[in-house]
């Protein structure tokens, strides 16, 4: 590895050329740059790897990000014959032996190497998005928290930006560079209204900054394929980890109620794991995409789509699951082929294939988990759990081994030190449930685990609170 001084020299040498800040069209030709270096021409082509290792060990080799130290010989005739060179550190100069190390001098004397000039040409394709932005955006436009606008939500081929005011004069440039530097992106949009402010369905107004005005996308997440119109539904690729986390908390064969299911990022992968899901979304367009994605991913046995108000769906889901269970509804696990090898008397190996019997998986009578991924308002839906299992006390502990459902409610809270945001979330949950909830172990009655999911703004965080519905809430009379 190069020492810190050499790294700093390289950083100063291999940087984009100075480009005048502009609000106009992106001129990619301005980013061409030639760096004059020295290269070690290898006489014996078979020893390239050996010389590369030796020069790297003595810190003479050029080490730069996204640069190969092995290059064709600058003489095109020799290059066509397979001659290769090793790029050398900028402190090594061709024709100036005083800058050569003893290893290089000795190799040149023995005619094992030749030190030749080499012009390293870099163009727009070489520079990263951040390096290009640093050239194009004046320092005054940069946000003190975000620096450059690097983060975006990607849905299939669409990159969704939420640009701050300081970047708006440069939005076209930003979008063009984003498409250039992200091969999977064909369209860039910018949000022009807060999610939830103008639409109860969490959709938003947007403008096309670059690329096609085609927001019908296909996204892949957690081994599932989702197709949807991004202009009409909610999708956030930054929540993939949270989708995976919750899905892996569910046990195959149990029932989950996803109150704000969207297009199915929790429901569909859970169905693939053999979890029964009653998936609901209030947005008709989300419901259409949800239903289509259930079929596309072949989880119709396990996932059912609904288009209802989540408040009334809490009771409806519990009642429908109980009715489905008592009527004997079930899924059928397809037989699996099992291969087994065994040794025959003559020493030959034989392959034997058998099939597992078809298995009926009954729908249980109760819901094990509720998912509420509507962070702006999900907590306000909690009063509707009162009376969830009124008159069905016999289905749960201590009458059976079944516990009351676990609720996973997403919400926002202000950034603060220590446990303050988590305590605030618990207080809000307790107020809506009209039952005590404190921070702690979700398996302990009256306690909740609150996990920070991600930052959504410099002073705003998204959390997920998990707790079991208190018995006083679940068994209260329905009013």
At which residue do the structure tokens 């939830």 appear? 196
- pLDDT reported for residue 20: 65
- pLDDT reported for residue 375: 95
The CA distance from 133 to 115, in Å, is: 36
- pLDDT reported for residue 343: 63
Handedness of CA 186, 295, 330, 327 (dihedral sign): positive
What CATH architecture is 136-214? 2-Layer Sandwich (3.30)
DSSP state of 46: G
Domain range summary for the chain, segments of one domain joined by +: 4-122, 136-214, 235-329+360-474
Q: What is the pTM of this model?
A: 0.79
User: pLDDT, tens digit, for every residue of 209-268?
Assistant: 999 888 999 999 999 999 999 989 999 889 999 999 999 999 999 999 999 999 999 999
List, as residue ranges, the binding site: 243, 309-310, 373
- pLDDT reported for residue 430: 98
- Maximal C-alpha separation, the chain: 97
Task: Give the Cβ contact number of residue 474 at 10 Å.
Answer: 21
The CA distance from 355 to 200, in Å, is: 50
- pLDDT reported for residue 147: 58
- pLDDT reported for residue 4: 39
Residues of the chain with pLDDT under 50: 1-8, 145-146, 195-198
- Measuring CA to CA, which residue among 375, 423, 417 is closest to residue 195? 375
Q: How far is CA 120 from CA 22, 33, 76, in A?
A: 27, 8, 15
List, as residue ranges, the binding site for S-adenosyl-L-methionine: 243, 309-310, 373
- Interhelix angle 171-181/129-136, nearest 10 degrees: 160
Q: How far is CA 238 from CA 151, 244, 402, 455, in A?
A: 10, 12, 34, 10
Are 136-214 and 235-329+360-474 in the same CATH fold? no
CATH superfamily of 235-329+360-474: Vaccinia Virus protein VP39 (3.40.50.150)
């Amino acid at each position: 590895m190069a020492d810190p001084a050499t790294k700093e020299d390289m950083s100063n040498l291999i940087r984009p050329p100075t480009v005048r800040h502009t609000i106009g069209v992106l001129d990619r030709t301005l980013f061409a740059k030639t760096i004059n270096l020295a290269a070690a021409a290898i006489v014996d082509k078979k020893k390239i790897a050996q010389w590369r290792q030796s020069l790297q060990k003595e810190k003479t080799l050029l080490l730069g990000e996204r640069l190969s130290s092995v290059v064709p010989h600058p003489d095109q005739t020799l290059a066509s014959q397979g001659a290769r060179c090793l790029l050398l550190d900028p402190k090594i100069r061709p024709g100036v032996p005083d800058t050569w190390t003893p290893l290089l001098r000795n190799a040149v004397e023995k005619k094992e190497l030749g030190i030749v000039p080499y012009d390293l040409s870099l163009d727009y394709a070489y520079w990263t998005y951040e390096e290009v932005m640093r050239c194009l955006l004046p320092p005054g436009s940069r946000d003190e928290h975000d620096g450059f606008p690097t983060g975006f939500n990607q849905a299939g081929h669409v990159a969704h930006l939420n640009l701050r005011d300081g970047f708006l004069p440069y939005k076209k440039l930003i979008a063009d560079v984003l498409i250039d530097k992200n091969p999977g992106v064909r369209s860039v949009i910018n949000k022009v209204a807060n999610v939830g402010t103008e639409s109860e369905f969490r959709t938003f107004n947007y403008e096309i900054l670059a690329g096609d005005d085609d927001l019908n996308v296909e996204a892949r997440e957690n081994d599932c394929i989702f197709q949807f119109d991004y202009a009409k539904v909610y999708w956030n690729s930054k929540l993939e980890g949270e989708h995976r986390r919750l899905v892996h908390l569910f046990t195959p064969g149990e029932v989950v109620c996803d109150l704000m299911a969207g297009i199915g990022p929790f429901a569909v992968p859970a169905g693939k794991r053999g979890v029964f899901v009653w998936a609901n979304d209030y947005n008709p367009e989300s419901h259409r995409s949800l239903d289509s994605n259930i079929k596309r991913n072949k989880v119709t046995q396990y996932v059912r789509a609904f288009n209802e108000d989540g408040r009334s769906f809490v009771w409806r889901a519990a009642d429908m699951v109980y009715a489905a269970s008592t009527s004997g509804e079930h899924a059928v696990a397809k037989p699996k082929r099992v291969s087994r090898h065994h040794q025959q008397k003559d020493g030959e190996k034989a392959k034997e294939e058998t099939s597992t019997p078809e298995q009926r998986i009954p729908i249980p009578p109760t819901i094990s988990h509720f998912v509420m991924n509507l962070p702006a308002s999900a907590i306000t839906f909690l009063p509707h759990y009162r009376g969830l299992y009124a008159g069905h006390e016999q289905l749960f502990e201590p009458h059976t081994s079944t516990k009351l459902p676990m609720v996973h409610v997403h919400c926002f809270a202000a950034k603060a030190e220590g446990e303050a945001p988590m305590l605030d979330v618990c207080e809000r949950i307790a107020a809506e449930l009209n039952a005590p909830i404190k921070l702690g172990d979700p398996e302990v009655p009256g306690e909740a685990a609150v996990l920070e999911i991600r930052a959504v703004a410099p002073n705003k965080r998204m959390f997920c609170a998990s707790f079991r519905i208190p018995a006083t809430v679940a068994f209260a009379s329905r009013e």
